[in-house]
Amino acid sequence: MRHLISAWRPQAPVAAIRRLGFRAGGGGGGGGPAGAGLQRHETAHVTAKKPIWGRLALALALALPVAPALAQVPDPTPVVTSPAEDPPVTTHPLTASDVETLIDGFLPYALKRGDIAGAVVTIVKDGQILLGKGYGVADRETGQAIDPETTMFRPGSISKLFTWIAVMQQVEAGRLDLDADVNQYLDFKLPATFAEPITMRHLMTHTAGFEEKVKDLIVLGGPPADLGTLLAGHIPARIFKPGTTAAYSNYATALAGYIVQRLSGEPFADYIDRHILVPAGMPHSSMAQPLPAHLAPLMAKGYESSRDPAQPFEIVNPAPAGSLSASGADMGRFMIALLNGGEGPNGRILKPETLAQMQKPHHRPLPGQQLAMGLGFYEQNRNGYRIMGHGGDTVLFHSDLALWLDEGVGLFISMNSTGDGISPGPIRDELLALIADRYFPAREPAAAPAPAAETIKRAVPVGGTFQSSRRVDSTLLSLTYLFGQGDLVTNEDGTASFTLFRDFAGKPKRWREVAPDRWQEVGTDSLMHTRTDASGRVTAITTDDYPAIFVFEPVPAATNKAWTVPALGITLFLALFTALWWPVAALVRRRYGRPHPLSGQPLLADRLVRAASLMTVVALGGMTAVMTMAITPLMEGTIDWLLRLLQLSALLAVLGLVPAAWQAWHLWRQPAGWWARIRASLMVVMFLAVLWFIVTYHLVSFSLNY
């Protein structure tokens, strides 16, 4: 969520589009990704297949088509001003016609420039669906339009809200204790990594301490995995003590859903249908995978982009974490039930006091942080209003749900394409911002950023390299997170920047410390929070631009990208040069009729070193490419054969250490040129580096359970 304008102005859609990274008149822009794990809400990490600069280029020049629509926005409402000493604050009543015109002036053009086939938007107010509208198409091949009442989308991790409600239903029934060891509800045991047990409260606040799991997360087509078998066979390592660190976890939610299934005696999808979907009045929704025959024809097609063919129905194997399919109108009725104290049109899904408990703050990643995690819901507060909700992404669908709890208003959006790979997140963020800033502007003007003279003076300038708590440490996927590290730096003007917190132009934001460990973005009211130890060293970073589902922590020196990335590059360069020089030298000798200068054991050692160098290029280069470019095949488990080949290459590469060491020992003991000795020694160092990378990032293992 982005902190943007605090009151509506006629040019708001243009401003929002520019904040998306689009430029009037086709101007340029660009920048790097926000870093691994910075997708705002997600069922899975999804790495776009297009280069980041190519994706940004696709997002340019959106403002021009929007200009004619701006004049159509009706503005007949009175202006309500605050006291004379404050700037005026303009408010607008939220009506169907006004909000429809607002969204019509923004969303169609955003979808087109983002290469997204279609979307549905539902807005509820005071117990009624105020607006339900489809944009684009549900089926590009047939041109089928989106019917907001019946066309079904995949809300991704918004499914988690249904799982958490099911959990609280078990609490109401007296079958479940939020603070009991969850092992007592399972038919397998979570290992006792720490003395403290994992409780359901930990699962609901994403503080159970699990690392990320990707294998078998989402597959295209095919039967879903058995939930119990999947969970028992894919237990993630625990990298944090329970209750201490927010680390968003699909496994944790799936575990909670499995407990509901065991306690209720009903298959999970059937339980959700009977106890939530029916009472909430959601006839065009299901967590079943694949969909029942009577619902399957209503499913919108999912696309990588609006130009690509439709993809098969996505199977989310940890089903409680993201398997829901639902129409926009059904999601509207779900929001109404949540805003109505848990009362749906066909029955109650939760008691009001239970729902209120879920929507209270239960965990803040850092002291003083504004946004908190509830029991399953997370805060998205803006302009001083209390907003709770959740977002979600599958590979193909991208969604968000936000509830203005005290105003009785809800917003749901879902898109059926990944598009250019960067637009879905900003589009849903900016839609929420447009709604918030037009209809729920700040009651008081935002405080101006502190001038430089009032900046907190630190004895030790902030700095360091950090990584997300939502990560993998114990499997080969940990190599991916090497490239997701960010740097905290002190700027010349006394502000600080964290390279993973960027604006839509791709530039790192600048933050000024206005109170101890509290930083305000220059030019906005956005806040960053830090935790500082007694020595003045920053030990954690969060921002209220993102939900309270992860925190950034210092990277250990042993895996800091400041030296590991250059070391990886140098290792690959030396290996590639050594491997390529092999045939080049042979061709030169043949051209001039020269014999090989080596024979016997030295010649054999030299050839083994060069062969192992080639294996190094294949192993390290291949692993790096796979981990950064093939997240979807990794999730589906369709490239296990390739991973095994790369692991075999890695083993053969490491074996090169033996002939390299013998060769170096031989050359240093016998008369030889200094260049030969230095080259042989470099080969030893190179193969030691290969061994270090393999061990540190778990690139070779018996199991491919990542």
At residue 504, the pLDDT reads 67
pLDDT at 446 over 80: no
638: domain range?
559-696
pLDDT at 556 over 70: yes
564 with 500, same domain: the answer is: no
At residue 454, the pLDDT reads 57
d(C-alpha 538, C-alpha 462), whole Å: 7
Contact, 311 vs 103, CB < 8 A? no
The 10s digit of each residue's pLDDT in 160-195 is 999 999 999 999 999 999 999 999 999 999 999 999
Within-domain flag for 102: no
Both tokens of residue 426? 């900003």
Q: What is the mean pLDDT of residues 602-628?
A: 94
Last residue of a domain, one of 556, 580, 600: 556
At residue 448, the pLDDT reads 55
Contact, 102 vs 10, CB < 8 A? no
Q: What is the mean pLDDT of residues 496-521?
A: 91
Q: What per-residue string of b and e applies to 137-176 under the rule 16 or more CB within 10 Å gives b?
A: bbbbeeeeebbbbbbbbbbbbbbbbbbbbbbbbbbeeeeb
d(C-alpha 163, C-alpha 276), whole Å: 10
Last residue of a domain, one of 556, 577, 593: 556
Last residue of a domain, one of 348, 379, 410: 410
d(C-alpha 365, C-alpha 206), whole Å: 10
User: What is the number of structural domains in the chain?
Assistant: 3
Burial (CB count within 10 angstroms: exposed 0-12, middle 13-18, buried 19+), residue 597: exposed
Residue 541, domain CATH: 2.40.128
d(C-alpha 611, C-alpha 582), whole Å: 9
The 10s digit of each residue's pLDDT in 311-362 is 999 999 999 999 999 999 999 999 999 999 999 999 999 999 999 999 999 9
d(C-alpha 18, C-alpha 25), whole Å: 11
466 with 336, same domain: the answer is: no
List helix spans (H) across 58-158. 63-70, 96-104, 107-113
pLDDT at 530 over 50: yes
At residue 513, the pLDDT reads 94
Within-domain flag for 665: yes
Beta strands in 321-397 (DSSP E): 325-327, 343-344, 347-348, 378-379, 387-393
Question: Between these two residues, 542 and 629, which has the higher pLDDT value?
Answer: 542
Within-domain flag for 86: no
d(C-alpha 388, C-alpha 378), whole Å: 6
Burial (CB count within 10 angstroms: exposed 0-12, middle 13-18, buried 19+), residue 586: exposed
357 with 473, same domain: the answer is: no
Question: Between these two residues, 14 and 8, which has the higher pLDDT value?
Answer: 14
For residue 449, what pLDDT band results from cuts at 50, 70 and 90? low
The proportion of the chain whose per-residue pLDDT surpasses 70, expressed as a percent, equals 85
Within-domain flag for 209: yes
pLDDT at 62 over 60: no
pLDDT at 653 over 90: yes
At residue 555, the pLDDT reads 97
Q: Which residue has the tokens 């960067």?
A: 422
Within-domain flag for 479: yes
Q: H or E element: which one contains 166?
A: helix 159-172
Q: Which residues contact 166 (CB under 8 A, 6 or more apart)?
A: 257, 260, 271, 272, 275, 276
The 10s digit of each residue's pLDDT in 248-304 is 999 999 999 999 999 999 999 999 999 999 999 999 999 999 999 999 999 999 999
277 with 379, same domain: the answer is: yes
d(C-alpha 557, C-alpha 210), whole Å: 22
Is cis: bond before 83, omega within 30 of 0?
no
At residue 11, the pLDDT reads 29
Q: What per-residue string of b and e applies to 231-268 under the rule 16 or more CB within 10 Å gives b?
A: beebbbebbbebbbbbbbbbbbbbbbbbbbbbbbeeeb
579 with 538, same domain: the answer is: no
For residue 450, what pLDDT band results from cuts at 50, 70 and 90? low
Beta strands in 370-422 (DSSP E): 378-379, 387-393, 398-404, 409-415
DSSP conformational letter for 478: G
578 with 540, same domain: the answer is: no
Pick from 53-57, 375-379, 484-488: least confident: 53-57
Mean pLDDT of the chain: 86
547 with 573, same domain: the answer is: no
Q: What is the mean pLDDT of residues 498-513?
A: 89
Beta strands in 454-561 (DSSP E): 464-468, 486-490, 496-498, 511-515, 518-521, 527-532, 538-543, 552-554
For residue 69, what pLDDT band results from cuts at 50, 70 and 90? very low
Within-domain flag for 124: no
Within-domain flag for 540: yes
542 with 661, same domain: the answer is: no
The 10s digit of each residue's pLDDT in 87-124 is 556 778 999 999 999 999 999 999 999 999 999 999 99
* DSSP-derived pairing of the beta strands 285-286 and 325-327: antiparallel
546 with 583, same domain: the answer is: no
Q: Which residue has the tokens 């008081």?
A: 444
264 with 353, same domain: the answer is: yes
At residue 371, the pLDDT reads 94
647 with 689, same domain: the answer is: yes
At residue 670, the pLDDT reads 84
From the centroid of its chain, how far is CA 603? Answer: 51
Contact, 35 vs 67, CB < 8 A? no
Q: What is the mean pLDDT of residues 611-616?
A: 96
For residue 56, what pLDDT band results from cuts at 50, 70 and 90? very low
pLDDT at 550 over 50: yes
Within-domain flag for 121: no
Q: pTM of the predicted model, to two decimals?
A: 0.86
Residue 398, domain CATH: 3.40.710.10
The 10s digit of each residue's pLDDT in 11-23 is 233 333 333 333 2
290 with 334, same domain: the answer is: yes
Q: H or E element: which one contains 502?
A: none
